[in-house]
Amino acid sequence: MTEFDGDVVIITGGASGIGRATASLLHSRGARVVIADVNGPAADELAAELGEGALAVQVDVSDSASVQHLITTTVEQLGRLDVLCNNAGFGFRGNVTTIAEADWDRLMSVNVRGVFLCSKYAMPHLAATGTGRIVNTSSYTSLVGIADRAAYVASKGAVTALTRAMALDHVAEGVRVNAVAPGTIDSPYFGTMIAEADNPGELLDELNGRAPMRRMGQPEEIAEAIAWLASSRSTFATGSILTIDGGSSAW
Ligand code: NAI
């Protein structure tokens, strides 16, 4: 018997970075995982790599019909839904004067509306188990703010606030809602940014320097925290925002 035996877990953005590490960890601990990602081929590849107990579903979390398809496919094929990890998201540079309106709207539709839609359609199934769990991937920037990331910081502020609101709204149904607030993580998102930078060494120093630990975190270090919040070891936690950031928010 392993920790997540019998549990069905959806991980949005599950094909890369933090989501990929989370899908792999929960699968290794006995969960049946649904790798839900807009990048269908990458989700298929990870599901094939993990083997039995892993299902790939292509989804755009900002699109209602696509999200409803994800939830019905999960319940039809795997019979239940115990955990939803709202992890899909992205960011870009800019302040309110430089960010284009369309870019702001797109980011909000994935990072905030995506959490709303997935939670909305998953909630009845999570409640039906009596012990449903939602784990959102927020960011330490929702707690302290950083420069030149206005849309991203605003979106994660909304995710942190929505985590607390959902925790209160659904506590009576037995659904616990928590979030991780990662610091700067060495995921493919930053890997690409570093590779394409004019001065990769300088950017790497800047990213490592964001934390008192003077390094970026690894996706696996966030997956451990998501796994704890998704497990029955955290039964008194709801509405928690768990910072895992090498000390960035302590500065
Ligand atoms: P990543 O870029 O490695 O992975 C994100 C995944 O989300 C990708 O597989 C992508 O295809 C998928 N995705 C993007 N838009 C989607 C959509 N509309 N529908 C479904 N899937 C979609 O990124 P990473 O770094 O692993 O980020 C995961 C989460 O962690 C994001 O919410 C991000 O904001 C958050 N985060 C990341 C930090 C970092 O430093 N990397 C720090 C704090 C939070």
The protein residue with its alpha carbon nearest to ligand 1, atom 33, reads 89
Q: How far is CA 57 from CA 117, 128, 179, 194, in A?
A: 16, 22, 23, 30
Task: Select from 105, 111, 137, 190 the residue to mutate for testing ligand 1; criterion: most ligand atoms less than 8 Å from CB.
Answer: 137
Please tell me the predicted confidence (pLDDT) of residue 2.
Answer: 85
CA angle centred on 112, ends 242 and 15, rounded to 5°: 75
The domain locations on the chain are 8-182+218-243, 187-216
What top-level class would CATH report for the domain 8-182+218-243?
Answer: alpha beta
What are the pLDDT tens digits along the chain (251 aa)?
789 999 999 999 999 999 999 999 999 999 999 999 999 999 999 999 999 999 999 999 999 999 999 999 999 999 999 999 999 999 999 999 999 999 999 999 999 999 999 999 999 999 999 999 999 999 999 999 899 999 999 999 999 999 999 999 999 999 999 999 999 999 998 889 899 999 999 999 999 999 999 999 999 999 999 999 999 999 999 999 999 999 999 98
Among 126, 33, 36, which Cα is nearest to 89's? 36
Among 233, 205, 213, which Cα is nearest to 140's? 213
For residues 110 and 61, the answer to whether their CB atoms sit within 8 Å is yes
Please list, in sequence order, all residues whose beta carbon lies within 8 angstroms of the beta carbon of residue 46, skipping any fewer than 6 positions away.
14, 15, 20, 23, 24, 35, 54, 56
| Ligand 1 contact, 21 CB (< 6 A) | no
